[in-house]
Amino acid sequence: MTKPQSPLRLSLQTAAVMMLFTLVFTAVMAGTYKATQNTIAASAEAEKLQLINQILPPQSYDNKLLQDALTLGPTPELGLDQGGHIWRARKDGQPVAVVLEAVAPDGYSGKIRLVIAILADGKVSGVRITEHRETPGLGDYIDPKKDRNKQQPWIAQFSGKSASSPGAEHWKVKKDGGDFAYMTGATISPRAVVAAVARAVRYEQAQREALYARTSP
């Protein structure tokens, strides 16, 4: 008759089996992560570049834009409490544009995150919303994917604007005496975006030379 195992021995065997299982599982997960890491990173970079190319024509620059980047610390001028990034576009080594991350902290439903391309002459090339929680069917027209006007989306009116055109007093929605259109009943979202873009334009104007010259820490 087989002698029954002691509770201590049984516990040790169980612990050993669990430890072996954990080690094998960890090794498999580590191997999977390592095998897919480059693919995931490449996919994320491609998605980021696709977004940037919506606001800055890819034929306008010839450098590796995502590699010509600055990492910012907290930057209140851009609403970046936790910091962010700036990418520099160049052609034949000459400055073409910067693409800035920015945040509008005062959206109707919270923060609105955006990217803004500003040409070397200070004019806005384009703006895109990257994250928001604005009310569907009301304030979310700030996002061209949600805007029903596909021929002339609301966000397109920033193209060609600069710090001096319109002047500082006109970087507001029309309801507040400015130059920027809005939809009746949904003023808060566009007001927040216009203010954020205006701050980014002023920041770029003040820091232009340094932004193109700086190296990322």
Query: Which tens digit of pLDDT belongs to each residue from 47-60?
Result: 888 989 999 999 99
pLDDT value for 14: 74
| R_g of the chain, CA atoms, integer Å | 25
Q: What is the pTM for the complete model shown?
A: 0.79
Domain identity same for 127 and 207: yes
Give whichever of 35-39, 40-44, 103-107, 212-216 has the largest mean pLDDT: 103-107
- The average pLDDT across 141-151 equals 92
- Reference 150, options 138, 139, 141, 140; nearest CA is 141
User: Is the domain of 147 the same as that of 45?
Assistant: no
Distance CA 132, CA 171 (A): 21
Q: What is the pLDDT of residues 151-199, one digit of tens each?
A: 999 999 999 999 999 988 999 999 999 999 999 889 999 999 999 999 9
Closest-CA residue to 143 (of 74, 108, 151, 134): 134
Domain identity same for 198 and 92: yes
CA atoms within 13 A on the CB side of 156: 9
CB neighbours of residue 135 within 10 Å:
14
Residues 106 and 142 in one domain: yes
Domain that holds residue 15: 1-55
- Residue 88 pLDDT greater than 80, yes or no: yes
- Given 55, 78, 101, the domain boundary residue is 55
pLDDT at 128: 96
Q: How many domains does the chain have?
A: 2
Report residue 154 as tokens: 């609301």
Check residue 125 and give its pLDDT. Answer: 97
